[in-house]
Amino acid sequence: MTFLYLNSDKMGEGDPQLGKKLMRSFLSELEKSGKQVDAIGCVNSGIHLTTEGSEVIEILQKFEAKGTRIATCGTCLDHYKKRDKLLLGVIGTMDGTVEIMFTADKVIRPN
């Protein structure tokens, strides 16, 4: 099982706009690659990828349509006051994140 762990809405450090552009490109290329991603977990500012205002929601919807489970951190949603802005997937928990990290064959973290 492959788990994509997204702890930011940006890829890399430096210019935030470039980081967002890189994340969009990464997710798009990964989705088009045909490689199976079984689960995606979004934490910290990564929650902005699955909530209202996301620039990559269409890409994530394609993952979900292929059967990828998507979970967004409930504590993080509360912190950013976006619990009611979640657009796809489920609200996840830290124990779920820990469990999937230990059972996954591969964890991808693109930061």
pLDDT in tens, 20-36: 999 999 999 999 999 99
- What does the pLDDT look like over 40-74, one tens digit per residue? 999 999 999 999 999 999 999 999 999 999 999 99
The CATH number given to 2-108 is: 3.40.1260.10
End-to-end CA distance of the chain, in Å? 20
Under 8 Å between Cβ of 41 and 100: yes
Under 8 Å between Cβ of 23 and 30: no
